[in-house]
Amino acid sequence: MEVRKIAVLGAGLMGHGICQVAAQAGYQVRLRDIKQEFLDKGMSMIQRSLSKFQSKGVLTEQQVQETLSRIHPTLDLKEAVADVDLVIEAVPEIVEIKKETFREVDSYTPQHTIIASNTSSISITELGSATNRPEKVCGMHFFNPPQLMKLVEIIKGAKTSDETIQTVMEVAQKMGKETVLVKKDVPGFIVNRILTPALNEAVALYWEGVADRDDIDKAIKLGLNWPMGPLMLLDYIGADTVLSITEVLSKEINVKFQANPGLKQMVRAKLLGRKTGKGFYDWTGK
């Protein structure tokens, strides 16, 4: 199946980036959110990002204008998805909100439309069960920021067809992404299954007083060649997000993934990282 039109649901942190990447690749994109202010903010972030690419010589002014001309913001879900070939859902990471979105999208879209979720931890099989087309539901997990990060995890639900996977892989590759296939629908997929315990252990080292913050981050940057240390990365992701992923992993897979008490304490204290201004690092004024 050839994909020509895409709808991106959610203009937030991930959604606006996915929309931009799709439009840059030549797709007509409908960007939908529930409030005009969210759409306006998403569009201004897209414009800012494209301007940066232009100033660095990655895009010409004409390419920037062509990209923007392919994006059609809307508040109307039915209008957003009525004639598209692929829907990419990037709404808040709450199961019931996602399932309700999938139910509505299923009722408004043509039979051939694929519905993909950008979820990082929610079961694709469960989301597919909210529709009458589970064979056309899959995971399409982008990484933050989608404009720069090369990887997309493609996740197969229990009933996802091979044709759906093939189509979505081709779309991701046309967007300039590298893809990996997650053959089983397990919590955390590949990256978060490996990354989350590593972040959790970095918190443990810090809270147990084994090493200082800067030495923990320096050790992993220089010893494992990470671009940034685990505690700084945790601040970028958000302690609350990491905690919620550890809870899913420990509940669904094994108690060995249980969150360190220090991580829970930071969330209780609202020391979430960049989003609240303080975490392991001080982000106020940056």
- For the annotated catalytic residues, the residue numbers are 120, 141, 153, 192
For residue 130, give the 3-state DSSP assignment. coil
CA 51 to each of CA 31, 45, 58, 59, 216: distance values in angstroms, whole numbers, following the listed order: 19, 10, 10, 9, 36
Rounded CA separation 188/253 (Å)? 10
Q: Where in the chain does DSSP place strands (E)?
A: 5-9, 28-32, 71-74, 86-89, 114-117, 137-142, 151-156, 178-182
* Count of C-beta atoms within a 10 Å radius of residue 137: 30
Greatest alpha-carbon pair distance for the chain in Å reads 57
Q: Residue 175: enclosing H or E segment and its boundaries?
A: none
